[in-house]
Structure 1
Amino acid sequence: MTDALDLAALGGSLDVRARESGMSGVVSIDADGVQVFSSAYGLADRAHGIPNDVGTMFAMASASKAFTALAAMSLIGDSVIALDTPVRDILGADLPLVDDAVTVEHLLTHTSGIGDYLDEEADWEVEDYVLTVPVHELAQTEAFVRAVDGQPQKSPPGERFAYNNGGYIVLAIALERVSGMPFHDVVAQRVLTPAGLTRTGFLRLDELPGDAAIGYLADDPQSLRTNVLHLPVRGNGDGGAFSDAAGLSRFWRALADGLVLPDEVIAEMWRPRVFVESERLRYGMGFWLDAEGPGIVLEGYDAGVSIRTRFDPETRATVTIVSNSSEGAWDVIRTFVEHLARP
């Protein structure tokens, strides 16, 4: 995937798969900000028959963990905290089951070993009601202390990689406390604004604007069941931001151009630490990486959300596949992964 012709061919393949699978969402491909392919599918609001548009804002689920990681590294750059800062120093008596040896770096790299309030190794489905705190109460970061409390440590800090949603909630709590600012404001000030992302942010699910897609549990366009009772009313450190596809492309290029953090910091965040067999990807610090190859990847899967966005720092090409249903993007993402695997 090294030139515009390759990208155009990829766009054609993904378009065919999106239409065949009945995907609801957007596929967008650009080369250094120059659009190569962009198409919208399905409905942003099924009840009112409002179609998705290439400019529709979609939920990002765990893809927005990158914002949390970048905000953390920004505060580290200002010497507010350090990678080796024990989180206990910030938490005080809260979350007593978090091991005293857990550091900021452990949280960033999913090696903290803390118990996860949304344990991805547990036996639950994406449409299950898994939150133990009423979703309408989960709007501000401190409210999540109750949600992540009571989870026993699963392994010693630093022993192994285990993807951990709760770890990024703990990280958000820590960032809010050390900065003295609400977590969402920290992300806006230190990540979204310098990246020029005017249509990216943490929206409340109970008051989505007209240009944001509603998340649906089922792919069936006749199903009106939304994700509003399955997710926090406003996302936090582990997910929940919204963006349009153009904003994600701008985000990637802003990182590559040093607009958010210095080049050496981004390079450290994009340095692979571990290969994750179940994902067939490597992991850095807040970002997934190609198993082999230059691509940097963000991915999210949640009730009413499925997304993968990949940036190639060598060609500066961005491919974003996003859907406003739980499973909607995965057939198209698999087609994209197969394309990348071709010799």
Structure 2
Amino acid sequence: MKPTRIRLGRACAAAAAAGVLVIPAVTGSAYGATPPPAPSATAAPSPGTDGNFPQLTPAVAARLDAAVRQVMRVTGTPGAVVGLWAPGKGSYVKAFGVADKATGAPMKADVHTRLGSETKTFTVTALLRLVDQGKVRLDDPIGRYVPGVPNGDHITLRELAGMRSGLFNYTLDPDFVKTFEGNPEQRFVPRQLLDFSFKHPAQFPPDAKFQYSNTNLVLLGLVIEKVTGRPVQDVITKDVIEPAGLRHTLFPTGPEFPEPHAHGYSDETPSGEIEDATNWNPSWAWAAGAMISDMQDLRTWARVLATGTLLTPATQAERLKTTPMDIPGAGYGLGIFNVQGWIGHNGSLPGYESLTVYLPQARATMVIILNTDVETDGQEPSTLFGDAVTSIVTPAHVYPGHKPLVPKPG
């Protein structure tokens, strides 16, 4: 059995992965994109070199096509959907590869996808709306709402949402991994997930440092349920999804998966071999990672999330206060990150990855959907796609990642 972590959208471009992230200084050709022309008295500037979002011309689209296809070869990604939008600059929406390796059915831009840790952005938004309603305070201790939490009288809701609680991440617990791998289609309940975490002592005092833990979001889901008296999926649907105008986003209670959707492929298996994880039950991720959406809804959500449409300005300002991470130019706020100016979140769980971010300077949105979570040299595929795309369109704001140069065989 290979060492298994059960990935769930490690924050900020695979921040939990070992190694130093290499940030390109210029738009490059490492992913097969055509390099920019050498400077001359008459040469036009390369797209985005002034920090602005470029016109999405056919020439830029061709460079993006080449870059995406090269990352697919490097990572062995079966299918990908990439979307870019910026007012006055045009759009780029394209599907690549296959949605089903068995049949060869092509990937399409309208597929539903499992969101993994992008769910955190919805859960924390639901919590912050309760803050705006005066029903909870960010500096309330979690022990006021959920009994039995290690350091529960000292850990605040703010520290949970900001990944500074010190609580052990249940998805790293060996017994959880063994239980999950024994039957990935089984149903988990929140208290069961917390039990995997709470048998471990707190890792550090509250607010001492940033450390990503899915346990934090399970606890916030329970807070939402206690305060509202409603299931968290109902609160998120009625108080977040519907006000945001999202039509294809849901919080499933089991393995249900609306059509159309791609098959998802994962190596989070006892053997380490890649398997079809499409129908694995995401209940183990619950308020930390169980949700489903599609590209158009994620496009809308990126702007709503980054601009604070559903929150008061004061609460949004609190949300966007970030703690530095071990990545240059990256910080984590309250269920949201800022990476080189791109605000949003990534998501990863067996079979699927996504990246949904917004660049306020250009009012630009980027959404990436993949039907694999298999890493390449310790890097999540969504990170590598994000790096390749932003290296072309916003080299002053590159979403960081390693750049492997040798494609996988086959």
Asked if TM exceeds 0.5, the reply is: yes
Structure 2 residue 352 is matched with structure 1 residue 299: no
Corresponding residue for 1:245?
295
Deviation string for 1:177-223 (max 9, x for gaps)? Answer: 121110111111121111011101223663322212232116xxxx9
> Is the contact made by 1:255 and 1:261 (CA closer than 8 Å) also made in structure 2?
no
Change (3 A) 1:33 1:238: farther
Structure 2 residue 164 is matched with structure 1 residue 111: yes
3-state SS of paired residue (1:159): coil
3-state SS of paired residue (2:346): strand
Corresponding residue for 1:193?
242
3-state SS of paired residue (2:208): coil
Corresponding residue for 2:118?
63
Aligned residues: 330
Corresponding residue for 2:18?
none
Amino acid at match of 1:57: H
Change (3 A) 1:130 1:252: same
Corresponding residue for 2:261?
212
Structure 2: distance between partners of 1:33 and 1:244: 24
Task: Tell me which of 361, 364, 371 is aligned to 1:317.
Answer: 364
Following superposition, the deviation at residue 224 of structure 1 comes to 7.2
> Is the contact made by 2:68 and 2:385 (CA closer than 8 Å) also made in structure 1?
yes
Following superposition, the deviation at residue 79 of structure 1 comes to 1.5
Amino acid at match of 2:290: G
Structure 1: distance between partners of 2:108 and 2:159: 39
Corresponding residue for 1:170?
219
Task: Tell me which of 223, 227, 232 is aligned to 1:183.
Answer: 232
Structure 2 residue 289 is matched with structure 1 residue 267: no
Change (3 A) 1:200 1:129: farther
Structure 2: distance between partners of 1:182 and 1:111: 26
3-state SS of paired residue (2:353): strand
Q: Please show how residues 1-343 of structure 1 align to structure 2 within 5 Å.
A: 1=48, 2-5=52-55, 11-20=61-70, 21-22=72-73, 23=77, 24-32=79-87, 36-92=91-147, 95-119=148-172, 131=180, 135-138=184-187, 141-142=190-191, 144-203=193-252, 206-217=255-266, 225-227=275-277, 232-233=282-283, 235-255=285-305, 259-272=309-322, 274-278=323-327, 281-291=330-340, 294-327=341-374, 328-339=381-392, 340-342=394-396
Amino acid at match of 2:138: L
Identify which of structures 1 and 2 has the higher relative contact order when contacts are C-alpha pairs closer than 8 Å and 6+ apart. 2
3-state SS of paired residue (1:67): helix
> Is the contact made by 2:56 and 2:91 (CA closer than 8 Å) also made in structure 1?
no
Structure 2: distance between partners of 1:33 and 1:26: 22
Q: Bigger shift: 146-155 or 282-291?
A: 146-155
CA RMSD between the two structures: 3.2
Tell me the TM-score normalised to structure 2 length: 0.71
Following superposition, the deviation at residue 6 of structure 1 comes to 5.6
Following superposition, the deviation at residue 336 of structure 1 comes to 2.8
Following superposition, the deviation at residue 90 of structure 1 comes to 0.8
Structure 1: distance between partners of 2:57 and 2:145: 46
Change (3 A) 1:81 1:140: same
> Is the contact made by 1:130 and 1:230 (CA closer than 8 Å) also made in structure 2?
no
Amino acid at match of 1:247: D
Following superposition, the deviation at residue 246 of structure 1 comes to 1.1
Amino acid at match of 2:298: L
Tell me the TM-score normalised to structure 1 length: 0.84
Deviation string for 1:41-97 (max 9, x for gaps)? Answer: 2232333443221111112211221111101101111111111111111113xx343
Structure 1: distance between partners of 2:320 and 2:198: 30
> Is the contact made by 1:59 and 1:240 (CA closer than 8 Å) also made in structure 2?
yes
Deviation string for 1:138-194 (max 9, x for gaps)? Answer: 465455444444232111111111111111111111211121110111111121111
Structure 2: distance between partners of 1:91 and 1:229: 31
> Is the contact made by 1:204 and 1:234 (CA closer than 8 Å) also made in structure 2?
no
Structure 1: distance between partners of 2:94 and 2:285: 27
Deviation string for 1:90-145 (max 9, x for gaps)? Answer: 113xx3434321110110111111111024xx89xxxx757489655546545544
> Is the contact made by 2:112 and 2:292 (CA closer than 8 Å) also made in structure 1?
yes
3-state SS of paired residue (2:368): strand
Deviation string for 1:201-254 (max 9, x for gaps)? Answer: 223663322212232116xxxx97222586634742211212111111111233
Following superposition, the deviation at residue 301 of structure 1 comes to 2.7
Q: Bigger shift: 134-143 or 180-189?
A: 134-143
Which has the higher Rg, Structure 1 or Structure 2?
Answer: 2
Change (3 A) 1:11 1:308: farther
Amino acid at match of 1:26: V
Following superposition, the deviation at residue 32 of structure 1 comes to 4.4
